[in-house]
Amino acid sequence: MALIKWRRREVWDPFRYLAELQEDMNRLFDLSLARLPREAIESAGGEWMPSVDIIDDKDKIRIKADLPGVDKNDVEINIEDGVLTIRGERKEEKEEKDKNYYRRECFYGTFERSIALPAEVEVDKAEANYKDGVLEIVLPKKEESKPKQIKLKVK
């Protein structure tokens, strides 16, 4: 009779492999703007990018952009070929060369954010409001872009 060395049988666990894949992806994408070199941020179209919310209502598109510390006179809004572009600048209040920052995450300088609009809009009826550092843009949809409902007759 031949003796065979006993080896622990490894059971295939798909969730273990998914957890390892998630850890690898987290390591890959573990970058933040604070750790990127300044040249990479500037080549992306500005020194910082504001966060935006895009809401697709039934008859209009609403866009909210967080622009804390930005003067409303330093913001420019353009719509061309179905793309909304918000440009502006957040000016640094004063330069303090003798301060040693422990951490500095607030970006100053120019910004630009371009957003492809999800529907055709009426540019001449667009409205923009700026209050408490939040820019809200309301763009009414063109009639052909609005969703239509067709009633079915059941026999």
pLDDT at 53 > cutoff 80? yes
Mean pLDDT of 125-143: 92
Tokens of 65: 């952009």
C-alpha R_g of the chain: 26
pLDDT at 35 over 70: no
CA torsion through residues 141, 142, 143, 149, sign: negative
The whole-model pTM stands at 0.61
Secondary-structure class of domain 46-145 per CATH: mainly beta
The separation between the first and the last C-alpha atoms of the chain, rounded to the nearest angstrom, is 79
User: Contact at 8 Å (CB) between 56 and 118?
Assistant: yes
Q: In angstroms, rounded to a whole number, what is the distance separating the alpha carbons of residues 134 and 52?
A: 10
Are the C-beta atoms of residues 106 and 50 closer than 8 Å to each other?
no
Q: Where are the domains of the chain?
A: 46-145
Return the DSSP state at 119: S
pLDDT tens profile 142-154: 887 666 677 788 8
